[in-house]
Structure 1
Amino acid sequence: MAKNETKAQRRERAREAAAKLREEEKKRTQRNRLIAIIVGIVVVALVGAAIWYIVSGNKKSAISDAGEQSSTEITTKLPQEINEFGGISIGKELAAGTSNSGVPRVSIYFDYLCSHCTVLDDEYAETLRQMAQDGKITLEYYPTSIYPNIPFSADGQRIEFWIAEHAPDKYLDFHNKVFADITIPLFAQPTEGGVQPPDVSALYDEAKLVGLSDEQVAQMKQDIDGGAYKELSEQALKQFTKNGFTGTPTILINGKQYNENWANGALLKAIENAK
């Protein structure tokens, strides 16, 4: 990436890369459906098609059908760092599960392989982090897998949950670093063959870089490979669709979907107006 490349240029490159990624995922999904039919697992194929329709129908920054957080679909036992809607809150301490009182609550549903999420993070991550630390907002991140057939998306969601529970003081550093080191550059510099999702091992490497020990990372990998947080992941998707959300990033302010274009500082103005 050229050193003098502007954020606008990075965003445009991300949008171009997104189209290629969606086409690749569409082909991947079609192949998976065919295999499912061959082996007779018709129900699984239908569920996969339904998920694809729901979560990939809208990738625009301005969402036409606003939703809000409603009664929870999440019934699995949750650690205290994860709320009843599957979110991870950040307050002054910058640790998972903390919050600030009497200030706007800014919630962001994201996927590491969502190109528009990288644009949002590139513009606002540092500012929102500072606002949370200054006690001006409670920041909430909602890990969401809109590409459940791609391990970097599916496992990435569950790794976020694991770190929030087991290393809450490292959670925000990890979240920000994955975007900064992996996904923003990924969409800014697509190859001729399109965006190639990174290997999940890159996420474990990032965990070490933010301070998790080798033992913690080994335990995390063992837990994720063993299916940790799969039930939460499935229920979080049900919650996402029940709330009327149709794509990522989805932004809420005080539990209500922000239904406007968030770019170029507009989100900060909306937060200010919510005080």
Structure 2
Amino acid sequence: MSTGGPTQPRPTRNERREAAREKARLLREEQKKRDRRNRLLIQGGVVVAILAVAGLVIGLVLQSTKPAGPGPANMASDGILLVGGENGIEAVATPAIADGEDPTPTEPDESGTVANIVTYIDYLCPYCGQFETTNNETMRTMVESGAATLEVHPIAILTNKSAGTQYSLRAANAAACVAEYSPEAFFDFNGLMFENQPEELSAGLSNDEIKDIAAEAGASSSVNACIDETRFKGWVQAATQRALEGPIPNSELDAVTGTPTVLVNGKQYVGSLEDTAEFQAFVLQAAGESYSESNGTPTPTPTPTPAAG
């Protein structure tokens, strides 16, 4: 007795051929569907890639053409003006430069009794380091005593000289951050930045190291986010361009051609960067000439130094 099902007739050759053709047709249709899906995916990917590239290009264009942005408070002249006060060296408070606005030149003391010292410095410039470390305490004494004012303009002309880290720009931005949030600490911050000055062509100081210097100078922690964000990058670039294009206010100088550029009552100091006595003499001479001009008296001729016997 059989336990199997009914016997099925074997397909004929024609039936097998038709079945094979149908199977091939179904496979071809399935392949066409897969090819169509792949083309759509590829086309979609290309569109996404094109949109991404377009977005990047637009972003770069907007970044390059966007306004410099507001400058830091207390630097309306593109520099911070430091004067003697009851608590030592203080910054003259000024509003920030608004978007698209030009800086407001400082009105110098024209009495002839105060020397107006103006410096344009780059924190990576080794010559600036020589001048600043040599004359830091001299300028501190002059400003604290009321014999002089000091206006510091941080600019960034050596941005491409720090192994790709843009140290000059980051350092000038940090100075702007201190001017904005802790102006009373600016003089000490400026001095410490040159005491810890990195070598040109090195990577420079990191943001964390700059923040440590700001804290050592007495700046509040409010400067930290400003330093990390390079908040005043646009202003630094614009202020640098203004200095390089000129004219330089309150002087006969057409433009800054290098750093340090040091002016006393509008006259450029071109003496030794490492001789504080020579700089002091220049300050006294410039102040004396301004006093004579303001009072209508002849400028005294400096007494020549006797020759060594």
Which TM class, normalised by the smaller chain length?
A: 0.5 to 0.7
Does 2:119 correspond to 1:108?
Answer: yes
Does 2:285 correspond to 1:273?
Answer: yes
The 1-side partners of 2:68 and 2:229 are apart by 20
Secondary structure in 1 matching 2:90: coil
CA contact 2:128–2:259 (8 Å) conserved in 1: yes
The 2-side partners of 1:250 and 1:258 are apart by 8
The 2-side partners of 1:250 and 1:238 are apart by 15
Aligned match of 1:169: 184
The 1-side partners of 2:139 and 2:155 are apart by 19
The structure with higher relative contact order (CA 8 Å, sep 6+) is: 1
Q: Where in structure 2 are the equivalents of 1:192-211 lying within 5 Å?
A: 195-211=202-218
Aligned-CA RMSD value: 3.2
CA contact 1:151–1:200 (8 Å) conserved in 2: no
The 2-side partners of 1:230 and 1:178 are apart by 18
The 1-side partners of 2:146 and 2:223 are apart by 31
Partner of residue 268 from structure 2, selected from 240, 252, 257: 257
Q: Where in structure 2 are the equivalents of 1:1-275 lying within 5 Å?
A: 77-84=70-77, 86-93=78-85, 94-97=89-92, 101=109, 102=111, 103-149=114-160, 150-180=165-195, 182-183=196-197, 186-187=198-199, 195-213=202-220, 216=221, 219-243=222-246, 244-264=255-275, 265-275=277-287
Residues 260 and 210 of structure 1, relative CA distance in 2, 3 Å threshold: closer
Q: Show CA shifts across 1:104-131 (max 9, x none).
A: 1111111121111111112101110110
User: Is there any run of 5+ residues in structure 2 with no aligned partner, and where?
Assistant: 1-56, 94-105, 247-254, 288-309
Report the residue type matching 2:90 in the other structure: A
Report the residue type matching 1:89 in the other structure: L
Aligned match of 1:52: none
Report the residue type matching 1:236 in the other structure: A
CA contact 1:129–1:139 (8 Å) conserved in 2: no
Q: Show CA shifts across 1:217-264 (max 9, x none).
A: xx4332344342122112111211122211111111123433444542
Q: Show CA shifts across 1:116-149 (max 9, x none).
A: 1111112101110110000111111111112223
Residues 205 and 232 of structure 1, relative CA distance in 2, 3 Å threshold: same
TM-score (norm 1): 0.62
The 2-side partners of 1:224 and 1:208 are apart by 12
Residues 272 and 177 of structure 1, relative CA distance in 2, 3 Å threshold: same
Secondary structure in 1 matching 2:218: coil
Give the paired residue count.
Answer: 195
User: Is there any run of 5+ residues in structure 1 with no aligned partner, and where?
Assistant: 1-39, 48-73
Of all paired residues, the percent bearing the same amino acid is 26
Work out which of the two has the higher radius of gyration on C-alpha atoms and give 1 or 2.
Answer: 2
